[in-house]
Amino acid sequence: MKINLKKYKEQLKDWPEKGHHIMAQYDEEKIIVYQSYRKEIGHFAVKNQYFGGAFSLERMTWIKPNFLWIMYRNGWGTKDGQESVLAIHLKMDSFKNYLKKFILHTMLI
């Protein structure tokens, strides 16, 4: 997927004025999300193009659809255990399924 870049002031005119929305790079098949990892997890994933090694499905996770947002949250890559930032290409159907589960979970709390 080719990343489309626009200056901030150019983007503003295309943003919704109200309501809930997600700003991300996407097409009909996939969406790019970002996540911070420990160095060894990030290095393994980049080298092998899949998660493995020290990666665990048991750890809580959060993904962000915006690169600057993830960088802000991880202290610009300086927080311990969040030094590697990966761009993850998720299938759009999977992303929508995650959103449905999140919304349901949030409503139950």
Q: Each residue of 36-84: pLDDT tens digit? A: 999 999 999 999 999 999 999 888 778 888 898 899 999 999 999 999 9
Give the pLDDT confidence score for residue 86 in this predicted structure. 95
Report d(CA 48, CA 5) in Å as an integer. Answer: 28
Tokens 């997927």 locate to 1
Instruction: Write down the domain spans for the chain.
Output: 22-108
Give 51: exposed, middle or buried? Use CB within 10 Å, 0-12, 13-18, 19+. Answer: middle
Structure tokens at 66: 């915006």
Report d(CA 63, CA 79) in Å as an integer. Answer: 16
Dihedral angle, C-alpha 84, 21, 31, 24, nearest 10 °: -60
